[in-house]
Amino acid sequence: MEQRTIKRFLKNPSSLAGTIIILCFILIGTFGPWLIGDQGLLIHLDMELKGPSAGRLGFAENGVDVLTSLIYGARISLLIAMTSTVISLSIGIVYGAISGFFGNRIDAIMMRIIDMLLAFPGLLLAIYIAAILSPKTINVVFALCATGWVGYARVVRAQVLSIKNYDYVIAATSLGAKTHRIILIHIIPNILGPIIIQASFGLASLILAEAALNFLGLGVPPGTPSWGALLDQGVSYLFIAPHLAIFPGICIGITVLGFNFLGDGLRDVFDVKSQ
Instruction: Note whether 225 and 251 are within 8 A (CB).
Output: no
CA distance 104 to 193: 26
pLDDT score of 270? 73
Query: Domains along the chain?
Result: 2-33+62-257+265-270 (1.10.3720.10)
Phi and psi of 59, rounded to 5°? -135, 155
Task: Dihedral sign for Cα 178, 194, 157, 201, please.
Answer: positive
Phi and psi of 153, rounded to 5°? -60, -40
Compute how many other C-beta atoms are within 10 angstroms of the C-beta atom of residue 266. Answer: 25
User: For each of the chain's 275 residues, which pLDDT tens digit applies?
Assistant: 467 777 777 777 888 889 999 999 999 999 999 999 888 888 888 888 888 876 688 899 888 999 999 999 999 999 999 999 999 999 999 999 999 988 889 999 999 999 888 888 888 888 888 888 888 889 999 999 988 999 999 999 999 988 888 888 888 888 888 888 888 888 888 888 889 989 999 999 999 999 999 998 888 888 889 999 999 999 888 888 899 999 999 999 999 999 999 988 888 777 655 55
Closest CA to 204 of 148, 260, 156: 260
Specify the 3-state DSSP secondary structure of 238. Answer: coil
According to DSSP, the residues that pair with 59 across neighbouring strands are 65
Number of H helices, E strands in the chain: 11, 0
pLDDT score of 1? 46
pLDDT score of 272? 54
Instruction: Note whether 264 and 14 are within 8 A (CB).
Output: yes
Q: In 13-65, where does DSSP find H-type helix?
A: 13-36
Ramachandran region, residue 222 (left: φ > 0; alpha: ψ -120 to 50; beta: rest): beta
User: What angle in degrees, to the nearest 10, is found between the helix axes of 13-36 and 243-270?
Assistant: 140
Compute how many other C-beta atoms are within 10 angstroms of the C-beta atom of residue 69. Answer: 25
List, as one string, the DSSP characters of 160-228: HHHHTTSHHHHHHHHTT--HHHIIIIIIGGGGHHHHHHHHHHHHHHHHHHHHHHHHTT-SSPTT---HH
